[in-house]
Amino acid sequence: MNEVIFMACKELIDDAKMGCADLVFKEICLEILARARNVLTEDQFRELSQYAAERMKEKSLSEAALPM
């Protein structure tokens, strides 16, 4: 069951990355992580945290590269 929740969290992060502005995306990631902390194993939570951090960095870099 945890694996399904883990994958769903990753999918939510990916969907938010594509459809939200940078600050909104970061807020959504933090909310997902806060809720996931209660249901994932410690290892899964660490992996999800790293995954979210990488996506946040990608999102920030891609928005910084966009012309104004």
Evaluated on CA atoms 8, 14, 15, 17, the torsion sign reads positive
Q: Would you state the torsion angle of the CA atoms of residues 11, 65, 20, 15, taken in this order, to the nearest 10 degrees?
A: -10
Residues 6+ apart with CB under 8 A from 23: none
% of the chain beyond a pLDDT of 90:
75
pLDDT value at position 24? 93
Q: Mean pLDDT throughout 45-49? A: 97
Residue with token string 């660490």? 46
Reported as a single tens digit per residue, the pLDDT across 11-32 is: 999 999 998 888 899 999 999 9
Q: Which amino acid belongs to residue 4?
A: V
Does this model's pTM top 0.85? My answer is yes
pLDDT value at position 63? 75
- Phi, psi values for residue 38, rounded to 5°: -80, -15
